[in-house]
Structure formats: structure tokens, C-alpha cells
Amino acid sequence: MVAAQDGRIAQEPPPSDAALAVRGLTVSYGEKPAVFSVDATFPAKTMSAIIGPNGAGKSTLLKAALGVIPRLSGEILVFGKPIDQARDRIAYVPQRASVDWDFPTTVLDVVQMGLYRKVGLLGRLSGAMAARARDCLARVGMQDFAHRQIGQLSGGQQQRVFLARALAQDADLYLLDEPFAGVDAATERAIIDVLKTLQSEGKAVVAVHHDLSTVRDYFDHVFLINVRRIAEGPVATTFTAETLQATYGGRLAATHLDELAVAGGAQ
Amino acid sequence: MGAEFVQFSLTPILIGTLAAIACALPGNFLILRRQALIGDAISHVVLPGIVVAFLLTGVVAAIPMLLGAAGAAVVAVILIEAVKRLGGIEPGAAMGVVFTTMFAAGVLILEQSDTSRVHLDVEHALMGNLESLIWFRADGWGSLLDPVALASLPDELPRIAIVCAMVVALTVLFWRWLKISTFDEGFAEALGIPSAAVGFGLVLTAAVAAVAAFDAVGSIIVIAMFICPPAAARLMTNRLERQVWWSVAFATLSAVLGYVLAGYGPLWFGATHAVSAAGMIAVVSGAILGLACLFGPHRSRIGIGRQDAA
């Protein structure tokens, strides 16, 4: 585990050092804010998890940071630059359930969508780029499915295709919205392997994550949110029974908290 | 197939085909975005625009009618977006509210104003006047090279040809934006593709196609062509590129076969009068959709794979 290896990550680094820095972000769908005045800093070269109960604004935080949904206020810096100057450095994996998998397209086609920033609106897809898309499919173990219609895949396979599309973006910051939701164990393993490889290559990974029991295994850094920021920092010091209690309120059973605390103590 | 065909059938068939293609192309993306009803909506909302244009100018002329219809379509698109966003309701409901209201307003204005001396009525709005778009000065295929004869082509032909060419050009030019933002709007936004503008542009293009087609062939064809050829095409293939080609083929087949069947079909069965070409074109497109549902190679996907639709 490489969490907080140099002690620098424990402090709030200045935004220019961070892969993704969010300052004063507020998003509202109606009258009630979904995310309120949130500061968040996701360090470079680190696996970070965004954690919180349902409706706490985890996905909203991610989408608003990307500009997918409008924000009422807030500043977003990606490697110290405004997001619109850094889009080439970001890869995004939306929630699998957010698209219609009946769409008439093939697995390879979806992966090639990740090459859009390189190809442009009218550019031709070069042979090298097509080969790159196939390579990305192979990295998630889906090379044999290149010409399948995407609706014929299982949930786990669909998630792998989305990850391959993000790999094709060849980014420095990977943002994933619930990458493990509804996938089989083998896929979860395959996805985490790919993400760890990315981290070892110096990329930053930020994932909205649901399963509290795997946080310590998968991530180095956590951001706890319930509309407002509750806590953020290295998993070892920030992912505690107290912060979880503060994030989930009464919704998390005491026994569950104890288990997580024990798991933490064993580390 | 000689002089008579060129004079009486060539131009209506061309106009019908171009109108069908102009509507079917955006229809592909509309059905994939679950906005197929927008074609229906547009063909309803143009009525008040046309009536108001007539009241303002006092004539039934192509340009004011087109402008009035286009204005009404734009008003409707803005209203639909406004109702959808401000009310926070789904697009289908927003369209239903807006187009019903605007169509009712159009009928009301039509009833209250004196249009009895002009050719502006509900039948014209529904069926258009495809059969009357004949090429008087043509006397055979040679007329295609005769500038004098070409000058007397019905105005509707160059108009729908220009609109159709524009729709084709926009579809080719913005293909990647359309494809990515139709499949995954959030991902498209993250890539820096202006998804909302793409969606708006698509609806606007559909509106222009609908108004141009409405002028020549009436709203029945418009409604049918937005939905039937693309829906049938979806059942023929699992590739968007091929789906679009199939939809163009089905639109063309519907227009040609529908016109021929309307003109000659009843005679084969001993009837003495032809039937409405616009109506028959719509019927043929519906029959093609029916056949695609029964025999299309990818029909098995209907109704399954929906568990992931959020």
C-alpha cells in the first residue's frame, strides 16, 4: 500500500499539486442542495474513494466537477488548471445504468469513443488508434468481444467495456462512478487490477465507492461526504468509526462499524 | 414510362422521397433518444404558425407559411425545454402538454378566421397535395435537360431538395457528436462535446425537415417518416451506421411504392379512383415496420435488455 508514503498527502496540498481540487462546490437539483459548499482535494498518483450514504451527493460531486451537470458555484482545478484546459488529461467512467445498452453499437465502437479527443469531430481514425482501442479491450480481458453488440454483454462485461473506453482516453486522472456496482467478483478483481496498474504508472484514480468493506484494500485516500464534506485524508487515519458515524449518522449499524474498525486495527 | 410519367409522377415521387429521407435521418437519433414523439409534436405545432402567417399576410404562399411554421416550431421547442426543465418532468409529458395546446390553439384560430376562400383546411394540413405537384412543362425525359421546362418545376422540389441536402450534410458533419451524445450524454459532456446544444440542434433540424415536408406532403407523412423507417431499420442491424442506411432505403421504398400503389393500386382492384398518395406512403412505411417486427434479424431484442435502462 502506498498511502501517505511521504507524509505530504496527509496535509491539504495546494490545488496545483492535486490531481483534482474542488473549492466551494454547490450543486442543487431543486430547492435543496445535493452538494453544499464542498472543498475536496484528490492527490496525484493515488487511489481515492468518495464515500457516503445514498443521496449524499457522491455522483453529483463527480459529475459537477466534470461539468456534466451545472454547478451553482465552485471552482474546479485539474492538475492546477481549469477543467476546460485539462479535458485531455481526464478519463470518465459514468454509472453503467446511465446509458441504454440496447444502443446499436459494438464493443469496439464504444471503446473508440474514448479516442474522440484525439480524432476530433471529422478526423479519420488511424490504424494506430484502432490498434490502441483493441489494446485497451485486451487490458480488461474483452478482446474476444470486440464485435458484439453491447446489449449482449453481462453487467460485468459492460463495466469492463466502459473501463476500456476510459483507458483509450489515455488520461492522467481517472474518474469512476460506482465501477463495482452490480458486477461479478471476477470483474471486480479485473477492474481493481487495472486501476492499481494505472496508479503504479503514476495516474490518479478517483472512484465513487459503495462497499465499505473493501475501502481499506482498494484505496489509499478517502473523501467522506453527506451533502457537505465530512472528512478527507489517508484511509489509515481518516477512515475511522467516528468519521463513518458522522457520515452515515444512525444508518450504519454499530456492529458494522466495529467490524470496519477491527479490520482497520488489523492492518 | 415515358412523357406521362415524367409529367405526372416524377416530381411527386422525388418530392415524396426527399421529404421522407429528410425526416427519417433525424428520426434515427430521435428514436434512440426516446424522443420519437417530437416529430408528431412538431407536425401539430406548425398548424398555429401557418394559420397566424396566413392571417398576417392574407395569402396562402409558401414563404410566409414556412416562416410561420418554423416560428411556431421554435416556440414549441423552447416551451418543451422550459416545461421539462422548470417543471422537472419527463420529455414525453412536456411535449404532450405543449403540442396539444398549440394544435388546439391553431384549430381555434382557424375556426374563428375566414379561410373559406383559400385552400387552408384540416385536410390539406394532414394530406398535403402531393398529387398536384406535377411538372406541367415536361414532355419526356428530355425535359430534364431543357432549361425552360426545368424552370417550371414545382417550387416544392428545389425547396425540399435543399432541406434534404442540409439534413444529410449536418448528419455527416456532426456524426460523432450525434453518436456519442445520443449513446452517453454524460460521457460526451466530459469529453467537452456540447451535448445540450447537439440535442437542441437535432430537434431544430427535425423541425426544419418537418416544416419543409409538411408544406409539400402534409403531416401524415411527416409523423410516419420520423418513426417508421428508423424503427424498422433498428430491427435490421445492430450498427448505427447501417441503421441509418437502412432507414434511408426504407424511406425511399415507402415513398416510391406508396405513390405507385396509391395511383395504380385501386385500379388493379377495379376501383375507379386513386387514393391519397400521402396516406398510402404512410401505410407502406407502417407495413415495412410490421414486416421488420416479424422478420427483422434483430427483432429479438425488442423488450429485453431494458433492465439496465435507468
Count CB neighbours of A67 within 10 A. 15
Distance in angstroms (rounded) separating the CA atoms of residues A153 and A159: 9
Give residues with Cβ within 8 angstroms of B1, minimum separation 6.
none
Residue B300 in any domain: the answer is no
Residue B87 in any domain: the answer is yes
Distance in angstroms (rounded) separating the CA atoms of residues B73 and A114: 35
Residues in A touching B189 (Cβ below 8 Å):
66-68
Strand partners, A93: A176
Q: Do A100 and B190 touch (CB under 8 A)?
A: no
Q: Which CATH architecture has domain A15-266?
A: 3-Layer(aba) Sandwich (3.40)
Q: What's the pLDDT at A2?
A: 39
Cell numbers that stand for A82 in this block: 481549469
Residue B236 in any domain: the answer is no
Residues A34-45 pLDDT 10s = 999 999 999 999
Residue B75 in any domain: the answer is yes
Cross-chain CB nearest to A149 (options B88, B179, B238) = B238
Cross-chain CB nearest to A104 (options B193, B237, B310) = B237
Cross-chain CB nearest to B186 (options A68, A101, A122) = A68
ipTM of the complex: 0.87
Residue B113 in any domain: the answer is yes
Q: What's the pLDDT at B48?
A: 87
Q: What's the pLDDT at B128?
A: 75
Q: Which of B36, B39, B34, B61 is nearest to B50 (CA)?
A: B61
Q: What's the pLDDT at B161?
A: 94
Res A26 pLDDT > 70:
yes
pLDDT by residue for chain B (310 residues), tens only, comes to: 577 788 888 899 999 999 999 999 999 999 999 888 777 777 788 888 888 888 888 776 767 877 888 788 788 888 888 998 888 888 778 888 888 899 888 878 877 776 665 666 666 666 777 887 888 778 878 888 888 888 888 888 998 999 999 999 999 999 999 999 999 999 999 999 999 999 989 988 988 888 888 777 887 888 899 999 999 999 999 999 999 999 999 999 999 999 999 988 888 887 777 788 888 999 999 999 999 999 888 865 544 444 443 3
Give residues with Cβ within 8 angstroms of B93, minimum separation 6.
none
B186 and B199 in contact (C-beta within 8 Å)?
no
* Torsion A128-A133-A139-A145 (CA) sign: negative
Res A255 pLDDT > 80:
no
Residues A142-162 pLDDT 10s = 999 999 999 999 999 999 999
Residue B289 in any domain: the answer is no
- Taking the alpha carbons at both ends of chain A, their separation in whole angstroms is 11
* Torsion B286-B288-B291-B297 (CA) sign: negative
B182 near A CB under 8 A: yes
Number of domains in chain B: 1
Q: What's the pLDDT at A204?
A: 96
Distance in angstroms (rounded) separating the CA atoms of residues A64 and A20: 12
B239 and B251 in contact (C-beta within 8 Å)?
no
Residues in B touching A110 (Cβ below 8 Å):
183
Res A230 pLDDT > 50:
yes
Could you tell me where the DSSP H helices lie in A120-253?
127-139, 155-168, 185-200, 215-218, 235-238, 241-248
Distance in angstroms (rounded) separating the CA atoms of residues B80 and B91: 7
Residues in A touching B85 (Cβ below 8 Å):
none
B190 near A CB under 8 A: yes
Res A11 pLDDT > 70:
no
Cell numbers that stand for B225 in this block: 417518416
Res A192 pLDDT > 70:
yes
A234-240 average pLDDT score: 92
Residues in B touching A67 (Cβ below 8 Å):
189-190
Chain B (225-264) residues lying within 8 Å, Cβ to Cβ, of chain A: 234, 237-240, 243
What is the domain extent for residue B33? 3-217
Res A237 pLDDT > 70:
yes
Q: What's the pLDDT at A254?
A: 62
Cell numbers that stand for B56 in this block: 398576417
Cell numbers that stand for A29 in this block: 437539483
Q: Is B36 exposed, middle or buried (0-12, 13-18, 19+ CB in 10 A)?
A: middle
Strands (E), chain A: 20-28, 33-42, 47-51, 73-78, 81-82, 90-93, 173-177, 204-208, 221-226, 228-234
Res A179 pLDDT > 60:
yes
> b/e per residue, B85-99, with b = 16+ CB within 10 A?
eeeeeebeebbbbbb
Distance in angstroms (rounded) separating the CA atoms of residues A109 and A125: 11
Q: What's the pLDDT at A253?
A: 64
SS3 call for B105: helix
Cross-chain CB nearest to B310 (options A67, A97, A113) = A97
Q: Tell the residue number behind the cell numbers 478527507, with chain if given.
A: A232
